[in-house]
């Protein structure tokens, strides 16, 4: 597969490859496998590729989306699909804080303690924010915030730890200017909390 997702993380564009000597057309394989899969997973497309194609090694970039719902009431339609928070967030401060995270950096402060990668040097090419109070699912009672990350690769829990840190900026617990120092310290203990897996989505793998 193009990447590993933690338990609870959603994937709407995961890519995987395998080799076979079967004469069954790729669409037929897709239909056959889908008939055996549980209800919470499905293959949405299948095609023949060159023998040297590798879903992970050939990926040029990946795009992830993190969804946050700000609402003081329960929203059953969002259960296990967002990070549900009460109160407000200073989005402007969060955007300012995220600027220093774009580029090639050592993200040691934002990776899981048990991460098996040899190092945490990665490249984030963009971090974008959007918010909406008009989503039909909220009935106008909440605000849906989405943070989109694109980069060449991410270490374990990197995005979730960044989001958790940005949330603490948005709540005034961490100053926006402190995020640059947190990045430079290369110490997980100085960064914010790890955001829950349920708000994270793998939305694109680019080749």
Give the catalytic positions in this structure: 6
Sequence-separated (6 or more) residues with CB below 8 Å from residue 182: 109, 165, 174, 190, 191
Among candidate residues 66, 54, 47, the one with its CA nearest the CA of residue 3: 54
Q: Residue 124: in which H helix or E strand, if any?
A: strand 121-132
Among candidate residues 164, 190, 6, 201, the one with its CA nearest the CA of residue 85: 164
Give me the sign of the Cα torsion angle 126, 57, 112, 145: positive
């Amino acid at each position: 597969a193009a990447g590993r997702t933690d338990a609870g993380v959603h994937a709407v564009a995961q890519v995987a490859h395998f080799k076979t000597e079967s004469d069954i057309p790729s669409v037929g394989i897709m239909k056959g496998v889908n008939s055996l899969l549980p209800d919470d997973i499905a293959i949405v497309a299948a095609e023949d590729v060159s023998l040297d194609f590798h879903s992970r090694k050939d990926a040029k970039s990946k795009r992830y989306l993190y969804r946050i719902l700000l609402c003081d009431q329960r929203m059953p339609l969002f259960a296990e699909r967002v990070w549900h928070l009460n109160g407000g967030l200073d989005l402007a401060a969060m955007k300012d804080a995220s600027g220093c995270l774009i580029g090639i950096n050592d993200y040691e402060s934002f990776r899981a303690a048990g991460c098996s990668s040899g190092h945490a040097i990665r490249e984030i090419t963009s971090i974008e924010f959007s918010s909406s109070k008009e989503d039909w699912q909220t009935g106008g009672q909440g605000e849906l915030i989405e943070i989109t990350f694109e980069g060449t690769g991410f270490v374990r829990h990197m995005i979730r730890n960044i989001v958790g840190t940005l949330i603490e900026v948005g709540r005034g617990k961490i100053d926006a200017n402190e995020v640059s120092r947190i990045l430079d310290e290369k110490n997980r203990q100085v960064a914010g909390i790890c955001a829950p897996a349920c708000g994270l989505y793998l939305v694109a793998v680019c080749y």
